Structure 1
Amino acid sequence: MFSVTKIPKTSSIYFSSALKLRHKSKTHWAKLKRKTGPKYTALNHFDDFYGSVFGNQWESIREGLLRRPKYVAVINNYGDFEETMELLSNKGAHCLNKLMSIQQDFSNTYHKINKDLTKDIKQDSNVVSNYVSKMEQNEISNIYPTNQALPEKLELKDTTLKRFHENEAEIERTSAQTLDDAIAEADIDQTRIIEPGMGTTSEALYQYIPATKLKGMDDYVSESLHYSFYSTNTSDFPLVIEPETEYSYPEHLKLMTYERDSELHMFPEPKRSQTGVFNYYPLDGGSVLAVLALCLQPGDRVLDMCAAPGGKSLIALQTLLPDVLVCNDVSISRSNRIKNIFRNYLIDFETSNKWQERVVLNRKDGRNIVDDYGFDKVLVDVPCTTDRHAVMENENNIFRADRVRERLRIPELQSQLLANALRVTRVGGAVVYSTCSLSPVQNDGVVHMALKQVFTADGILASVRDMSSAFQCLSSTMVLGKGKALPKYGQLVLPSVSANFGPSYIARLVRTK
């Protein structure tokens, strides 16, 4: 017979506790691993850096970044565009051009009323001044009755005069004191001095923690180190910032979107039109602004320097304005994505001679592109930290531990691409620089670096065109940076719960020499 040995109660308790500890440790390890992935690294990084850049605005921007983005629908002119616009309109979408026109009319009316009110106030200024003066006289007469004479001289008590003279003498003595005398009299805290003889292992080295934590020893380097790239010293080169006067909305560009604060923000899946191409292309509204900032004209020769995946190039073609569009990207796989989009949105793209003459697919490093004629317009949508993707996806995330060096060199790459874009643009032509990042280093900082670089090395001058007046009619649709979030050289589309476009930075430069 088999005998069963009874397990002591204390042993069973220990065994049960061990299992619980093991299970608890396993769960904790899984949670810890998830919290230290690339997207959490990016979010911590942005909290540290953008929190100091945007201040109180960062919380609302952060909430928008972590939510589903909002899109506009680029209606395909080569499909059933009238039926498509009617379909989306029935689902609550609005034509972006109409929304901008309404906002512009409202803004003009507001400024006219404000101007008239200012004029009336100036005309009545004498009446207002007389009324205020009369009120002041009445107030004074209530405090000091007219039948009571005011004393000619105010007598101070002896103690008050003595205290006044003592304070005056102390101020004179302190002002005449030298720096060495002040240091000699100062009460210095000797406990924080670390003598050389203590060695590097002294406990005194660890008693005081600096006010800012040094990052980069574990999983990332603080982006504040990138401020070495960011300079606003305008004495480096001649800098001109002037308002944009050439902007006009392209007549044939049809964009549909949902209003700000609308609960609707998702479009249905695009469908094939009778012509065989998709009826519209969904795209972030901030990306649309980059194409609008080009201020395309009929017959323009255009270069999209970093074209993949092809959305901005498609918008440029939907304006029906460019004569030639060169779509460039250094990556083979990304270049194939451009070709695939054109195949799905342009009728007979691969077989029609018309498209072969108008659209050129190029695969070069944008820094090495040369052109003998000079492009009329160049779009430089540079590689960046892609802030929204960085906090949402771990796959292909620039904040992965093995991509630290690549991330730190992003501003250098961006400035080189923008500098070459200015070189291949004709005098009088325009370059639009754009990112999908909130970083002032990758945005204004890179624009400043590139302008300085081309002036020093090539003698090229370009003026910065202020697009704020042209884009102010978008305030009912998007959240544009203002105040502390207003860039110096460009426009910034901020993510928001009410209008979750962006982030997008757009700067327009016109070559003048």
Structure 2
Amino acid sequence: MVLTPVILILFFFFLSISRDILTSPSLWQYAVLLNRFGYHFELEKDLHLKGYRRLFQGSLPYYPKSMKCYLSGTPDRMASEKHQVGNLKKYYLLNAASLLPVLALELRDGEKVLDLCAAPGGKSVSLLQCAWPGFLHCNEYDSLRWRRLRQTLESFVPQPLRNVIKVSELDGREIGDAQPETFDKVLVDAPCSNDRSWLSAIKALCPGGLLVYSTCTLSKAENQDVINEVLNSCSNIVPVDLREIAKNCSQDFTFAPTGQECGLLVIPEKGKAWGPMYVAKLKKLHSMKKL
């Protein structure tokens, strides 16, 4: 879809607002994602007393009850918990907008999931708050980030559940050929569109499966242009409308126009300093011999 002059004007207006937030650390906000595998009754009570509220409560039809994320209306950051071998952390600090790609996957119990660019592990941890996957493959090619990913999972995931999790250090561009049509859901939180990880992700996705592509940039080249290339290159891939999510989450997030029904762009503004986060959702209709 071509960006009209009106959409372009609105986009650059939102861009100027978000830059002011991104360059002002005193305005940054952090959400608190509770770890459902740890006991956190006292933590929830403390968050309520401090004025925190539940994110997304009742706003999304497929929002999992097991996911609990709290945020404050003012800039605030809780202290991060230290990694302790054998002890699970109670919460994970994150940008609340980073939960949108996870929720867009609509993960169900027993499904096979690929987190293609998984480090530092926040989205993998968030996925596990939504459902009990039959298999979760977390991949990270960079060795330093891979070690951080492993430590994050050790800090938040109980030992029995780790039996269904694979943590690999593979080139993401090769996974599709190594594991073709293996996964029900694939998340590509892309560090850069130039590596064409999306092509490997499509190969790894089962027919009928969902792929969510996300970035933390405002760049059209890394966002809308990538999705347009996918749709133009792969006849078995169709867009999935995300406008309902934007409508239901407008209280918590500010969305800039993207010119796409399947793509959302969260931009930070004062009081809702979440993002930037681009999210697009696609569905694979059937197999193709060559992509």
Instruction: Give the TM-score taking structure 2 as reference length.
Output: 0.87
Summarize deviations over 1:148-192 as a string: whole Å, max 9, x none: xxxxxxxxxxxxxxxxxxxxxxxxxxxxxxxxxxxxxxxxxxxxx
Residue in 2 that maps onto 1:203: none
1:35-54 alignment, distance < 5 Å: 54=11
Q: Give deviations 1:349-398, integer Å, cap 9, x for gaps.
A: xxx4x2342110111111111214520000000014xxxxxxxxxxxxxx
1:441 aligns with 2:249: no
Q: Is the 8 A contact 1:299 1:321 kept in 2?
A: yes
1:73/1:281 contact within 8 Å kept: yes
CA distance in structure 2 between the aligned counterparts of 1:330 and 1:305, rounded to whole angstroms: 9
Residue in structure 2 matching 1:510, options 273, 283, 286: 283
Change in Cα spacing, 1:306 to 1:74, as seen in structure 2 (3 Å) is same
Q: Does 1:305 align with 2:116?
A: yes
**How far does residue 292 in structure 1 lie from its aligned partner after superposition?**
0.3
Where has structure 1 moved over 6 Å in runs of 4 or more? none
State the 1:84 CA deviation.
Answer: 1.7
Whether the 8 Å CA contact 1:302–1:377 is kept in 2: the answer is yes
In the TM superposition, residue 422 of structure 1 has moved relative to its aligned partner by 1.0
Alpha-carbon separation, structure 2, partners of 1:287 and 1:58: 19
SS at match of 2:109: coil
Alignment of 1:1-12 (within 5 A): none
Which has a greater percent of helix? 1
Which residues in structure 2 correspond to 1:70-109 (within 5 Å)? 70-98=29-57, 101=58
1:249 is aligned, of 56, 60, 63, to 63
| Matches of 1:363 and 1:269, distance apart in 2 | 26
* Aligned-pair CA distance for 1:487: 4.1
The structure 1 residue matched to 2:194, chosen from 405, 412, 417, is: 412
Q: Deviations over 1:102-160 (max 9, x none)?
A: x67xxxxxxxxxxxxxxxxxxxxxxxxxxxxxxxxxxxxxxxxxxxxxxxxxxxxxxxx
3-state SS in 2 of match to 1:287: helix
Q: Could you say if the C-alpha distance between residues 52 and 96 of structure 1 is closer, same or farther in structure 2, counting changes exceeding 3 Å?
A: closer
Other structure's SS at 2:17 match: helix
Distance 1:366 1:271, change over 3 A: closer
Write the distance in 2 (CA, Å) between the matches of 1:58 and 1:287.
19
Higher strand content, 1 or 2: 2
**Inter-partner Cα distance in structure 1 for 2:75 and 2:216:** 23
Q: Deviations over 1:227-251 (max 9, x none)?
A: xxxxxxxxxxxxxxxxxxxx61112
Q: Give the counterpart of 1:500 among 254, 270, 273.
A: 273
What's the RMSD between the two structures over aligned residues?
2.2
Residue in structure 1 matched with residue 3 of structure 2 by the alignment: none
Asked if structure 2 preserves the Cα contact closer than 8 Å seen for 1:70 and 1:266, the reply is: yes
Q: Distance in 2 between matches of 1:86 and 1:493?
A: 29
Residue equivalent to 1:283: 94
User: 1:382-423: per-residue Cα shift (whole Å, max 9, x none)?
Assistant: 014xxxxxxxxxxxxxxxxxxxxxxxxxx432xx21122111
1:468 paired with 2:243, answer: yes
Match of 1:392 in 2: none
Distance 1:470 1:263, change over 3 A: closer
Partner of residue 453, structure 1: 233
Q: Distance in 1 between matches of 2:227 and 2:128?
A: 26
| SS class of match (1:499) | coil
Letter of the 2:187 counterpart: L
Work out whether residues 486 and 492 of structure 1, in 8 Å CA contact, stay in contact via their aligned partners in 2: no
**Aligned-partner residue type, residue 188 of structure 2:** V
Structure 2 unaligned blocks of 5 or more: 1-7, 287-291
- Mapped to 2, the partners of 1:310 and 1:299 lie a distance apart of 20
Measure, in 2, the Cα distance between the counterparts of 1:269 and 1:443.
Answer: 31
Tell me, in whole angstroms, the C-alpha distance in 2 between the residues paired with 1:56 and 1:471.
19
Kindly indicate whether the alpha-carbon contact (under 8 Å) linking 1:307 and 1:313 is maintained by their aligned counterparts in 2: yes
Matches within 5 A, 1:160-171: none
* Offset from partner CA, 1:432-451 (integer Å, 9 cap, x none): 00000111111110011123
SS of alignment partner, residue 492 of structure 1: strand
Question: Looking at both structures, which has the greater relative contact order when contacts are Cα pairs under 8 Å and sequence separation is at least 6?
Answer: 1
Amino acid at match of 2:38: G
Residue pair 1:378, 1:431 contacting (<8 A) in 2 also = yes
Task: State how far apart, in whole Å, the 1-side matches of 2:50 and 2:93 are.
Answer: 15
In structure 2, distance between residues paired with 1:94 and 1:335 = 33
Looking at structure 1, the residues matched to 69 and 51 of structure 2 have their Cα atoms a distance apart, in angstroms, of 14
Q: Secondary structure of 2:230's partner? A: helix
Question: For 1:76 and 1:58, how far apart are their aligned partners in 2?
Answer: 33
1:490 is aligned to 263
- Indicate the residue corresponding to 2:164 in structure 1: 358
State the partner residue of 1:6. none
Please state how far the C-alpha of 1:266 moved relative to its aligned partner: 2.4
Q: 2:116·2:138 contact (CA, 8 Å) conserved in 1?
A: yes
Distance 1:346-1:438 versus aligned 2 partners, 3 A rule: same
Cα distance in 2 for residues equivalent to 1:382 and 1:55: 23
1:257 shift after superposition: 1.1
Amino acid at match of 2:18: I
Tell me, in whole angstroms, the C-alpha distance in 1 between the residues paired with 2:147 and 2:168: 11
Match of 2:210 in 1: 430
Greater radius of gyration (CA): 1
